[in-house]
Amino acid sequence: MIKVLAVGDVFGEPGCEFVRKNLRRIKQAEQADLVIVNAENSCNGSGLDRKEASLLFESGADVLTGGNHSFRRYAIFDLLEDNPFILRPLNFPAGSPGNGYCIIPVKNGLRAMVISVCGQIFMDPADSPFTAVERLLEAEKGNYDFAVCDFHAEATSEKLAFSHVFDGRIQIVFGTHTHIQTADERLTPRGCGYISDIGMCGSEESIIGVSYETAVPRYTRNVRMKGIPEKNAVALCGAVFTIDEQTLYCTNVKRIKYN
């Protein structure tokens, strides 16, 4: 069997520090063969920079996925071109820096194709994730053994629709972006493991990673303040997916939380 560990949005310095101290231990405890980390909020809560990318890889991540904040830091553009395992959403416009997928050897000669896509509902403009992934699966047919997709989106309905359309063709679909771990993990009829959102690696005593002091005024006084990541009560949320090496079906989905 193959175990894939997916870690929710790493939020700012507190999230990065928790990953640095704990990810290898968690990887060992979960017996993970592949570790995928959503990194689009790792630099001060918005974007990814070289320092944070290096830290996450050194801490045990194999692939970094992105989202709507992937391009917030200009310094990452060259790294997106140079490192095939740092992904931005596949359905960003043609000509965007970097790549939206990678193929990585995992175990016993099996290869995983890891895909990063963004949703369209309540999100910044992006091309259709459905069309983009259809094209990708056709183009890479025969070059991988199973597929994993980080669907970075706001609407659970869109995430569910995506898992239904690609059931049997993508073996693992997990959602990111809301920073709130959902309790709807399931195995689909054609062998896909699914969960709407795996949560985040950030403070539980916060507004999705941001301190109460800097987040609450937006809602009470319509005053937007610079969000400061909360440093206390940090937890890592995610999920572990088990793939059967013979059938290549996902046979188990387990939510995780470490604090």
Q: In this predicted structure, what is the pLDDT of residue 12?
A: 93
DSSP for 151-219?
Answer: EE-S-HHHHHHHHHHTBTTBSEEEEESS----S--EE-TTS-EEES---EEEESSSBTTB-HHHHTHHH
Cα–Cα distance, 202 to 45 (Å, whole number): 10
Q: In this predicted structure, what is the pLDDT of residue 18?
A: 97
Which residue in 38, 58, 59, 34 sits closest to 48, CA to CA?
Answer: 38
pLDDT at 258 over 90: yes
Name the residue with higher pLDDT: 95 or 185: 185
For residues 88 and 49, the answer to whether their CB atoms sit within 8 Å is: no
The mean per-residue pLDDT over the stretch 125-135 comes to 96
Please tell me what DSSP assigns to residue 93: P
Please state, rounded to an integer, the average pLDDT across all residues of the chain: 95
DSSP for 17-82?
Answer: HHHHHHHHHHHHHTT-SEEEEE-TTTTTTSS--HHHHHHHHHTT-SEEE--TTTTS-GGGHHHHHH
**Phi and psi of 20, rounded to 5°?**
-55, -40
Within 8 A by CB and 6+ apart from 8, the residues are 38, 176, 179, 181, 197, 198, 199, 200, 201, 236, 237, 238
Q: Where in the sequence is the domain holding 198, given as residue range(s)?
A: 2-258
The mean per-residue pLDDT over the stretch 105-121 comes to 97
Q: 69, 152, 177, 179: which one is catalytic?
A: 69
Q: In this predicted structure, what is the pLDDT of residue 225?
A: 87
For residues 39 and 48, the answer to whether their CB atoms sit within 8 Å is: yes
For 231, other C-beta atoms within 10 Å of its C-beta total: 15
Each residue's pLDDT tens digit, 151-160: 999 999 999 9
Q: In this predicted structure, what is the pLDDT of residue 224?
A: 86
Per the annotation, the verdict on 164 as an active-site residue is no
pLDDT at 167 over 90: yes
Which residue in 125, 129, 116, 119 sits closest to 39, CA to CA?
Answer: 116
3-class DSSP state of 110: strand
Number of domains into which the chain is organized:
1
pLDDT confidence band for 55 (50 / 70 / 90): very high
Q: In this predicted structure, what is the pLDDT of residue 230?
A: 86
Each residue's pLDDT tens digit, 56-84: 999 999 999 999 998 888 888 998 999 99
pLDDT at 108 over 90: yes
Cα–Cα distance, 230 to 41 (Å, whole number): 13
Instruction: Report pTM.
Output: 0.96
The enclosing domain of 105 has a CATH number of: 3.60.21.10
pLDDT at 209 over 80: yes
pLDDT confidence band for 118 (50 / 70 / 90): very high
pLDDT at 45 over 80: no
Q: In this predicted structure, what is the pLDDT of residue 32?
A: 98
Each residue's pLDDT tens digit, 184-201: 999 998 999 999 999 999
Q: In this predicted structure, what is the pLDDT of residue 46?
A: 85
Q: What is the CA radius of gyration of the chain?
A: 17
